[in-house]
Amino acid sequence: MGNTTTRGKYRWIVFKKGTEWVATALEFNIVQVGDDPNLVYLELQEAVKGYVEAAQKIKGFREKTISPILNQKPDEEYEKLWNQAQLTTEKPTTQLPTNVFNFGTRNLATV
C-alpha cells in the first residue's frame, strides 16, 4: 500500500562513508551528513518530521500527488546497505557491516 500522510513507515540508516557520517531516510531520500553519528541521526529525524508535516499540509491534493513524495525509490547504495544491516536482526549470527552505526524502521505516526 505504501505511506500516506496519516500512516506508514520509513527505514533509516546511519553509516560512515569516508571520514563523514551519513544518515538517510530511504523512502524520502533525505540525507544528513556530519562528523557525529548521533547528531546526524537527530538531524535526520528532525528533517523527516518537517518533510512529513509539509506533506500533511498539502493533504487537500489527491493521494496520487502525495504518494510519490512519501514513497520514493531509495538510492541503490543505501538500499543495499540497509538490507545487509537488516540481516543481523533476521539472522543473529550475521555481523553488522562495519561502517554501520545504527539502522531501523519508524512509524510515521511517531514522527
Domains of the chain, by residue range, sit at 9-101
pTM score:
0.89
What radius of gyration do the chain's Cα atoms show?
A: 15
Give me the tens of pLDDT residue by residue for the chain, a chain 111 residues long. Answer: 588 877 899 999 999 999 999 999 999 999 999 999 999 999 999 999 999 988 888 766 666 777 888 999 999 999 999 999 999 888 877 888 899 999 999 998 777
CB 38 within 8 A of CB 56: no
Question: Which parts of the chain fold into alpha helices (H)?
Answer: 37-57, 63-70, 76-90
Nearest CA among 6, 7, 42, 48 for reference residue 27: 48
Distance CA 61, CA 4 (A): 12
